[in-house]
Amino acid sequence: MRACWLALLAILAAMPALADCPMDLGRGTGIVVFSEHFIIALRPEPLRIAVGEPFALILNVCTKGNEPAELVSIDAQLDEKNVIDSVPKIVAGQDGRYRAEGIVLTAPGSWEVGFNVKSGKDEERLTHDLVVN
């Protein structure tokens, strides 16, 4: 019996630890953005972003140490004249999961979306380009 317990403990010790901040966004799709301290996995909802139509971003925000991080704000700009007019509503979930709602990109092109994130004393701005046709 003791040998069975030791074998079970050895198997459990060999299994990878479960992530504190999972990167899985579901639906088998998403974009990963990373910096020196942070990793963000995101996907738009709906997946196709249309000019002038509101959409949301589903995000998981983590440190590179696999801990949940805080999404402070999101902004976007195409050029000096075209920026998002309103501040997206950020709804926090558990374990670094967020939903940013009410984002509207008003013109076609490559929009630079900025994500301000922090954890403890580390704070960074990560960016990613979303192309809208």
| Tokens 């479960």 -> residue | 18
pLDDT band at 18 (very low <50, low <70, confident <90, very high): very low
Give just the sign of the alpha carbon dihedral 41, 45, 48, 49: negative
Q: What is the pLDDT of residue 53?
A: 94
In the chain, pLDDT over 70 holds for what percent of residues? 79
Residues in Cβ contact with 75 at an 8 Å cutoff, skipping those fewer than 6 apart: 83, 84, 87, 113, 114
Strand order in the sheet with 70-77: 70-77, 109-119, 122-132
Give the per-residue pLDDT at 25. 67
pLDDT score of 65 more than 50: yes
pLDDT at 7: 40
User: Is pLDDT larger for residue 30 or for residue 111?
Assistant: 111
68: DSSP letter: B
Identity (one letter) of the amino acid at 68? P
CATH of domain 19-132: 2.60.40.1930
